[in-house]
Amino acid sequence: MIGKINRLKKEKNAVILAHNYQRPEIYEVADFLGDSLELAKKAVNTDAKIIVFCGVDFMAESAKILNPEKMVLHPEELSVCPMAAMVTVECVLEAKQKYPKSVIVSYINTTADVKAVSDICCTSANAVKVVNSLKEDEVIFTPDRNLGTYVQTKSKKKIILLDGHCYVHDNISVEDVKKAKELHPDAEVMVHPECRMEVIKEADAVCSTSQMIKYSKESSASEFISVTECGMAIMLKREIPNKKFWAVGGTCLQMKNITLEKVYDCLFNETGKVELDQNIMDNAKKALDAMLKVV
């Protein structure tokens, strides 16, 4: 199946972008693997005719928004990020009415219509930088309450949080992290900022998924505990085989919904096309472009 997909990609001038949380066999067909920020940047720069996006819906949508003339295929329509579905345009506009001087920062884990009413997007890799780059003192931050709470510890701005969370990261308990530290006292702890603040406090480094790769490559430590979706430890081991990685965190079922068979079928039949309203795409692009100007 890996060979078949790689041949089909060449025939169709397609590129496969895949998130770090994908199944390990998907890594083998990906032209580029990364975190949300890297994948958004890669989507802007590809010359391929077709982008097959192995990740959750908002990632494939962002690729389409940034590259409206390209065909973007998403292999599984049920691969939908539940956090992105937790905030609606109505919630955001209601908050804006309440805080008219504020600027709306939406995490890239949002639907296209929420991005379209936002001033700027951010990812886990650049949220602090994006918020601190703004001239306004008041920020509506949506939908990840945990990420917003973390950003607040790094910013003097007033951050108004709209409610939302990632079920995978929010379920990670501080007890689990402390237990892993006891078992592996020499390991450094890398925590994704979608975790709760009490978990983040246990971190040696707060990292997006790809920042975990960079951090563990550059650190002098030889063991690491990665506190995020458990598949990340497989990616870390693949990238840095001479170091040890321990995983604390559950599985993102939506990310794991994509299989090699679904990737092959969608590219062969050109199904799963991401199609969005032009007006929404134009406005959402402004928020994504604003972010890409900052980082």
166 contacts ligand 13P (rule: CB under 6 A): yes
131 contacts ligand SF4 (rule: CB under 6 A): no
The nearer residue to ligand SF4, 143 or 272, going by C-beta atoms, is 143
**From 146, 208, 216, 254, residue interacting with ligand 13P (rule: CB under 6 A):** 208
Q: Which does 208 bind (CB under 5 to 8 A by kind): ligand SF4, ligand 13P, none?
A: ligand 13P
Site for ligand SF4 in 101-130 (CB under 6 A): 109
Q: Which two structure tokens, joined as six digits, stand for 9?
A: 């990609």
Give the number of C-alpha atoms closer than 13 A to the C-alpha of residue 91, restricted to the C-beta side: 20
**From 254, 266, 285, 287, residue interacting with ligand SF4 (rule: CB under 6 A):** 254
Site for ligand 13P in 100-119 (CB under 6 A): 109
What gap in Å lies between CA 48 and CA 101, rounded to an integer? 42
Size of the site for ligand SF4 (CB under 6 A): 13
190 contacts ligand 13P (rule: CB under 6 A): no
Q: 226-239 b/e with 16+ CB inside 10 Å = b?
A: bbbbbbbbbbbbeb
Q: Which does 82 bind (CB under 5 to 8 A by kind): ligand 13P, ligand SF4, none?
A: ligand SF4
CB of 180 to ligand SF4, least distance (A): 19
CB of 291 to ligand 13P, least distance (A): 12
- Contacts of 63-68 with CB under 8 Å at 24 or more apart are 63/17, 63/39, 63/274, 64/274, 64/275, 64/276, 64/281, 65/112, 65/115, 65/276, 65/281, 65/284, 65/285, 65/288, 66/40, 66/285, 66/288, 67/43, 68/278, 68/281, 68/285
Q: Which stretch binds ligand 13P (CB under 6 A): 120-128, 133-141, 152-160, 271-279?
A: 120-128
CB of 160 to ligand 13P, least distance (A): 22
SS (H, E, C) 113-166: HHHHCCCEEECCCCHHHHHHHCCCCEEEEECCHHHHHHHHCCCCCEEEECCCCC
The nearer residue to ligand 13P, 102 or 211, going by C-beta atoms, is 211
Nearest to 78 by CA among 54, 56, 111: 56
43 contacts ligand SF4 (rule: CB under 6 A): no
The nearer residue to ligand SF4, 108 or 134, going by C-beta atoms, is 108
Nearest to 25 by CA among 258, 194, 289, 199: 258
Where do contacts with ligand SF4 occur on this chain (CB under 6 A)?
A: 56, 81-83, 109, 166-168, 194, 229, 252, 254-255
Where do contacts with ligand 13P occur on this chain (CB under 6 A)?
A: 20, 35-36, 109, 123-125, 166, 194, 208-209
